[in-house]
Amino acid sequence: MKRLLLVRLVLACSALPMDSAVAQLSPACWSAPRMVHSGPASAEFANRIRLLTTASPLPDAVASPRNSYRFASRQPDTTRPGPWHGAVQISGGDIHWLLAFEGIAQPLEPRWLTDNLLFLRVAWGRIQFSDLVFDAARGELVFHQQLRDGTIEFEQYRQSCTDPQLADSPQCQCPADWAEDSSLPPSQPALDELIGLLEMPGLFGPGESGGPQAARPIVPLLLYPSPAIGTEGVISIDDPWALQTREYGYEAPAAIVLEEGLEEGLEKVLGKELKKEPQREPEFYRIALKNGASGWVSSQDAGRFMGLADLLPGRLAYLTPAWDGRLWTLQQLAGEGRWQRLRIVDDPVAETAIVVDEVRITATGPWLKIGIYDGEVCAGPEPPIRWRGWVPAYSAAGRLTAWFHSRGC
């Protein structure tokens, strides 16, 4: 049992899996300052520890759990300027070992781990420490790992990596959270998923009017069965609340757009000209109705169309339950190689607060460059950004992965 405990301690502190070991070393992987094990002790600190034997025990000894061994500390005189010297004596029967330390920065605080294993953390300064385990049954120092206080390191990371210009740099990314994967997944909306919002000034009044309001007077909206103006199958809608809507501003509703397109047949007529004009404005928008149906609206009968690039950046945004917890690096969006690195965020939380910096159209569809806040945005001062990266705007099932609070906190 004694040997098993020591093995577990060594494994926990010095034989972590590679990704966990990297996470220990990089402040980009931490959520708060921490003490970091960085491997075997350097000669600089190992040479400042001596193991001696003494003739008589020190007073005020502390017994081990089964009373087999005792330790007593010879503390430094902290009333004098440091660095100081100190020692810990470990006694077993007539044998008295003395661990002597030169140039320490704090008093010694040993404690028993088991009946024979004594643990001691030695401070060499404000940042550098050593973790030691002495085996009283063997009279040996069986464990010595270097340790550092990461408080200053963590604060420096937080100060520099909150700058969006540096957030994608290697030093601001947690290397343990990235692994190779396949090429970028598709980011395409399902047939019944929102691609944007369309203002309907003939049906809805202005926002901030004591709640969403109908226009006064209402101008009936013509809904076509296909993206073409005609008379057959046309529906006239004069009830604003027959449309599926979302707010784009405070109390300002707009129609949910499922698809945009040119008038039927126009693509064949324009032919090569369309290829030369990829930014040609759509002439029709397919909007959703509350009864589950949809229809096409002419741009002449509607107001401004707002795509994701108009709606998400600069808003109080959040991640939806469709987000799978993965963040992608910028390099994948540049098309550098087929193998991708991705971050897995454990247990994604619905409505995690984010900032959307950019919406970019890639070969697989729209992607969002985001920063994930480290805390609640509406709970007090704005928290720092914890992670930055890219997410597909739509999940594998075609659902939006991000949206925003139109009315703020």
Q: How confident is the model at residue 238 (pLDDT cuts 50, 70, 90)?
A: very high
In 3D space, the residue among 356, 349, 357 whose CA is nearest the CA of residue 317 turns out to be 356
Other C-beta atoms lying within 10 Å of the C-beta of residue 189: 20
For the CA atoms of 54, 55, 60, 63, the dihedral, rounded to the nearest 10 degrees, stands at: 80
Q: Is there a cis peptide before residue 201, judged by omega within 30 degrees of 0?
A: no
Q: Is there a cis peptide before residue 27, judged by omega within 30 degrees of 0?
A: no
Tokens coding 194: 């929102």
In 3D space, the residue among 124, 95, 141 whose CA is nearest the CA of residue 132 turns out to be 141
What three-state secondary structure class fits 386?
strand
Backbone angles phi, psi at 220, to 5 degrees: -55, 145
Q: Would the pLDDT of 146 be above 60?
A: yes
Q: What's the burial of 298, exposed, middle or buried (CB within 10 Å: 0-12/13-18/19+)?
A: middle
Q: Would the pLDDT of 271 be above 50?
A: no
What three-state secondary structure class fits 266?
helix
Q: Would the pLDDT of 290 be above 80?
A: yes
pTM: 0.56
**Partners of 342 in beta bridges:** 179, 328
Cβ neighbours for 292, distance < 8 A, ≥ 6 positions apart: none
3-state helix, strand, coil in the chain (%, to 5): 20, 40, 45
Percentage of the chain exceeding pLDDT 90: 51
CB 134 within 8 A of CB 142: yes
What three-state secondary structure class fits 25?
helix
How far are the Cα atoms of 41, 216, 261 from residue 37, in angstroms, in the given order?
Answer: 10, 69, 59
Q: Which pLDDT belongs to residue 320?
A: 94
Tokens coding 329: 């690096």
Q: Which pLDDT belongs to residue 324?
A: 86
In 3D space, the residue among 136, 108, 111, 134 whose CA is nearest the CA of residue 122 turns out to be 108
For residues 253 and 362, the model is more confident at 253
CB 339 within 8 A of CB 182: yes
Q: Which pLDDT belongs to residue 170?
A: 57
Report the pLDDT averaged over residues 73-90: 91
Tell me how many helices (H) and strands (E) the chain has. 8, 26
Report the pLDDT averaged over residues 95-111: 95
Q: Which pLDDT belongs to residue 378?
A: 84
Cβ neighbours for 227, distance < 8 A, ≥ 6 positions apart: 261, 262, 263, 264, 283, 284, 286, 296
| Winning range, highest mean pLDDT, from 169-183, 256-270, 386-400 | 386-400
Q: Would the pLDDT of 395 be above 90?
A: yes
Backbone angles phi, psi at 294, to 5 degrees: -150, 165
